Amino acid sequence: MIQRIQTVYLLVAALLSLVLPFILPLWPDGEGNLVSSGRIAKTGDTGFTFYASLLLVSGILSLLTVLSFKKRKTQLRINTFNIVVNLIILGLLIYHLLTLPGGTLVSEKGIGLLLPLVVIVLLAIAGRAIKKDENLVKSVDRLR
Nearest to 11 by CA among 60, 77, 71: 60
pLDDT category, 59, cuts 50, 70, 90?
very high
Average pLDDT, the chain: 81
In the 3-class helix/strand/coil scheme, how is 32-86 assigned residue by residue? CCEECCCCCCCCCCCHHHHHHHHHHHHHHHHHHHHHCCCCHHHHHHHHHHHHHHH
- Residues 10 and 5: their CA atoms lie apart, in Å, by 9
**pLDDT tens track for 60-114:** 999 999 999 889 899 999 999 999 999 998 898 888 777 766 655 555 666 777 8
Task: State yes or no: pLDDT of 115 exceeds 80.
Answer: yes
Domain of 74, in residue numbers: 5-143
What percent of the chain is modeled with pLDDT above 90?
38
Number of domains making up the chain = 1
Looking at residue 67, what is its pLDDT? 92
